[in-house]
Structure 1
């Protein structure tokens, strides 16, 4: 199972840095795009045709989903997507929290107050806690975590049993430890440094907390992601090293990792 980082900037994009978007792939199977924040569609075009991917969303904050309206344009109007009138279109699987079709349709609509029907291009399904699905030769299990609005971390098992755990956006919670248990790679948000008095509760993790979660879950490696552009990256990494003794990667746009290798 291969992870390609298309974007990993936290909360907002940074200079030359797309928001959250991670491509998961195994040979001979449909690639799966995990989150699709602003800037991700452009980076996706570097590695595959956007009409060929399935999509899973952790939640519906703009930095995790708002390039999907642009993907709708690609899937409807790019020359390789054009079909005869009334002909069937191959729909991409789209899994997301409750309200996904309305949220993306509102962002895609040409008319204020109206909602575009995205079901011409996406076969939409809504996550619920402990839901399991197989996509692209990989097994996904959703865990509802501590972040508004409804947000799901994902535990992804590859064809050889390798495990990627994705925190989504979350504060510390029991579900985070459960989804990451024993993972080969823990892709974990660390939006801020550890200053509890300066951070809203029930929202994001610090480097300290990401390291603590990795230690509690006994993961084999920690990959820090979703660091906000205004946050000191080196400080976040140093914090994680204080609470986790295993290998730590800092996710960068364009990085490719073979999970479990």
Structure 2
């Protein structure tokens, strides 16, 4: 079986009406890993998997559009364990920085946490996960998952970064934030990428499939797609809630 990527939420920093911010379900025949848990993600997640079948959560960084549904997910795990519908606690693998934010994760006997940094390697559901630092307003990690010879990379939130570029080299599927059109990039534009920059990274780093995400809700996505494709030199995908990609 291949890895399966399900888009649970793809906007930022706030959801479109009826949508959700960052959340992705990465699945193999061995289980399910949730990457980030933003606004509206739990509602969408539970359309596709039962609480008992969520094996782990990865948190790239501690901004609300990536974490705000974690307390809600904790409630779901707690209720299902109390009603004997889930046996094990849920482990959240979260960026260890800022330390204050890591310490404030809503933990109890039903949810536990493990710290992540760029040196972490962990195998979950048969997938080997590694991480890299990005350039953002607070510490953030990009995520790589390798499974049966295929490699998925998610940028997290980031501005232009040599470390992120090297991390994405040769990825079979690169899910990359594209928060803005390049013409809208201003002096205060820090810690995010434009669709043009994403296309350039994909081309330089020989990415096989490139998909834009973390999209400002009011944008015309066809413009982001066109700008990225001009730089990439071929088709670029745009994430939409409910999409499923086989990797």
Q: TM-score, normalised by structure 1?
A: 0.87
Distance 1:199 1:162 in 2: 38
> 1:91-110 counterparts in 2 under 5 A?
91-98=89-96, 99=99, 100-105=101-106
Matched, 1:219 2:197: no
Matched, 1:127 2:116: yes
Distance 2:35 2:94 in 1: 10
CA contact (8 A) 2:145 2:151 kept: yes
Where in structure 1 are there 5+ consecutive unaligned residues?
106-117
The equivalent position to 1:157 in structure 2, one of 146, 158, 166, is 146
CA contact (8 A) 1:6 1:254 kept: yes
Query: 1:21 corresponds to which residue?
Result: 23
Where in structure 2 are there 5+ consecutive unaligned residues?
none
CA contact (8 A) 2:122 2:129 kept: yes
CA contact (8 A) 1:83 1:89 kept: no
Deviation at 1:91, TM superposition (A): 1.6
Matched, 1:43 2:39: no
Deviation at 1:135, TM superposition (A): 0.6
CA contact (8 A) 2:11 2:20 kept: yes
Between 1:190-199 and 1:10-19, the stretch displaced more is 190-199
Query: 1:110 corresponds to which residue?
Result: none
Deviation at 1:126, TM superposition (A): 1.2
CA contact (8 A) 1:141 1:154 kept: yes
CA contact (8 A) 2:95 2:102 kept: no
* Structure possessing the higher radius of gyration over alpha carbons: 1
Q: Deviations over 1:176-235 (max 9, x none)?
A: 111111011110000101136525243110010010111111100100111111223222
Distance 1:119 1:141 in 2: 26
Query: 1:82 corresponds to which residue?
Result: 82
Rate the CA distance shift 1:81–1:162 in 2: closer, same or farther, 3 A. Answer: same
Distance 1:237 1:37 in 2: 23
CA contact (8 A) 1:31 1:52 kept: yes
Local SS of the residue matching 1:205: coil
Q: TM-score, normalised by structure 2?
A: 0.92
Local SS of the residue matching 2:88: coil
Cα RMSD, aligned residues only: 1.8
Q: How many residues matched?
A: 240
Q: Deviations over 1:108-155 (max 9, x none)?
A: xxxxxxxxxx14122311111132111111011010100121100011
Distance 1:89 1:26 in 2: 20
- The structure richer in strand per residue is 2
Local SS of the residue matching 1:104: coil
Local SS of the residue matching 2:208: coil
Deviation at 1:103, TM superposition (A): 3.6
Distance 2:193 2:93 in 1: 24
Rate the CA distance shift 1:247–1:125 in 2: closer, same or farther, 3 A. Answer: same
Distance 1:179 1:221 in 2: 15
Matched, 1:233 2:235: no
